[in-house]
A = this chain, B = another copy of it.
Amino acid sequence: MDNDVLAALQALVNESSILIGEDISKHYTDPWSKGLTNKPLCVLRPTSTIEVSNIIKICNDRKCGVVPQGGMTGLVGGGIPKTDEVVLSLERMNVIEHVDRFGKTMTAQAGVVLETANTSAEMQGLTMPVDLGARGSATLGGLISTNAGGNRVIRNGMMRQSVLGIEAVLADGTVLESMNTMLKNNAGYDTKQMFIGSEGTLGIITRCVVRLQPKPQSISTAFVGAESFDQVLDFLVFLDDELSGGLGAFEVMWPNYYQFVKSTCPKLKLPLSDKHQFYILFESLSSNSGLQSNYFETLLENAVTQGLIDDGVIAQSLSDRNDFWAIRDGVSEGFRTLSPMFTYDVSMPLKTMNYFANQLEKEMTSFSSRAVALVFGHLGDGNLHVVVSTGDGSDLEHNKINDIIYGIVSRLNGSVSAEHGIGTEKLDYLSWSKTAEELEVMKSLKRSFDPNLILNPGKVLCLDT
């Protein structure tokens, strides 16, 4: 049967579109893994939608699982194949078809890399709505199928908010073209929504129309300290009111995170002492007009005067800005000292975040005397990242810590996955954030779109064949 699929696929595509055996590099099996990985039956690298459709038809007829892949930058195993499956990499479908300066849209194939797309948008004075660390590898199709978040969510929303159109290949090979380019289109159901964030389990995204944003003319960045969580929340409200749509980032670090960075990353320049309770990195994206040259300074002075923050430093150069962001983003050197460690990406109502951090500290301390739990993240988006280490990297330990963290999240009506998705990593915890009725609707959608269960099997949800 496996041979039958392989033979049919080999007969279908030309040699440059298929990789088999030794030619399948680790990039396609599990780039993050340190150990042995599963070789799929083959890796297909089509260059056109019709090719994707023909591949899917063959796999559907033979009930062979298909794992779609973009840049392989996902963090929950959503693109990792099993040995009896076929990998479908969209990497060669990388044509930017059109940028519309007036409609502010980009029409492109799914395999276009985010950074490439952004360069192309910037040539027209526009910018991509999302940005994230993996910008040099992540593809548009991957960003859409995982509903990516990143650094600009507070301003532009998740990827879903910026997807105007999609072309997707369904499980039976049907090409569903919904390449809408308009901001407004209420003609019937918005079927493309089903393919956004469903991690390739309902269809394969082959092309898309993305809404672009005007490129900000200037970015102001500050790093400030606050003494209480109430101050943090009030400061966020203050910035929201003062900057309105201009708030471009609001990242918060809890004190033990800052102290940890201080002690483990001696190369990083710290703009403030480690005596504050909360550290906030925020940015204002602004346009050409109307801004007093010193408005950002005045803003900070007002915040101090009103008792919202205690101290703050404004980036005076790009190098300052990079230094500030390095405290939030560039601490892998420090994290290595925690290895083995586990990382989390959770969301919850803003008001409950400090309770979460305190409760996490309490429960982790009582769980293990060696526990370190660092909390930081996109607070303005309701999204926290957590890094936990107890010195034990076993699956058993991992599961126990999962239970602690997702337990708190679940009691706060939060989400076990804010931006990374479910993939296989979080499968067991999906029901902690979804009701039984929601899971039933998911299963019924899956069965309706993919009756043979060939699309990214075992990802996001489990169904028996």
Contact = CB atoms under 8 A, between A and B. Distances in A.
Interface in A338-386: 347-351, 378, 381-383
Given A194-B189, A415-B186, A420-B186, A125 B237 contact: yes
Contact of A186 (B190, B289, B422): B422
Contacts of A240: 104, 214
Interface string A295-309: 110110000000000
Contacts of A245: 155, 244-246
Interface stretch (A19-27, A146-154, A320-328): A146-154
Contacts of A194: 189, 193-194
Interface stretch (A10-18, A29-37, A428-436): A428-436
Given A160-B190, A214-B240, A246-B244, A290 B295 contact: yes
Contacts of A442: 188-189, 191
Contact of A102 (B157, B178, B233, B241): B233
B349 A100 contact: yes
Given A149-B184, A183-B382, A184-B418, 19 more contacts: A102-B350, A102-B351, A146-B186, A153-B183, A161-B161, A177-B438, A181-B413, A182-B348, A182-B418, A184-B383, A184-B415, A187-B433, A188-B460, A193-B196, A244-B245, A245-B246, A290-B298, A444-B448, A448-B448
B241 A217 contact: yes
Interface in A167-226: 170, 174-191, 193-194, 196-198, 202, 214-217
B381 A183 contact: yes
- Copies of this chain, whole number: 2
Contacts of A419: 184, 186
A189 B181 contact: no
A242 interface: yes
A224 to B, nearest CB: 16
Contacts of A198: 189
B186 A147 contact: yes
Contacts of A415: 180, 182, 184-187
Interface string A410-454: 000111111111100010001001110111111011001000000
Interface stretch (A59-67, A263-271, A280-288): A280-288
Interface string A381-423: 1110000000000000000000000000000011111111110
Nearest to A415: B185
Contacts of A58: none
Contact of A197 (B189, B292, B441): B189
A217 B185 CA distance: 30
B349 A187 contact: no
Given A175-B437, A290-B290, A433-B188, A349 B418 contact: no
B103 A417 contact: no
A125 B289 CA distance: 25
Nearest to A76: B186
B233 A177 contact: no
24 contacts: A125-B237, A146-B186, A149-B184, A154-B183, A155-B245, A174-B440, A176-B441, A182-B347, A182-B348, A182-B418, A183-B347, A184-B381, A187-B426, A187-B433, A189-B194, A189-B198, A190-B196, A191-B445, A214-B240, A214-B241, A242-B288, A242-B289, A245-B246, A291-B291
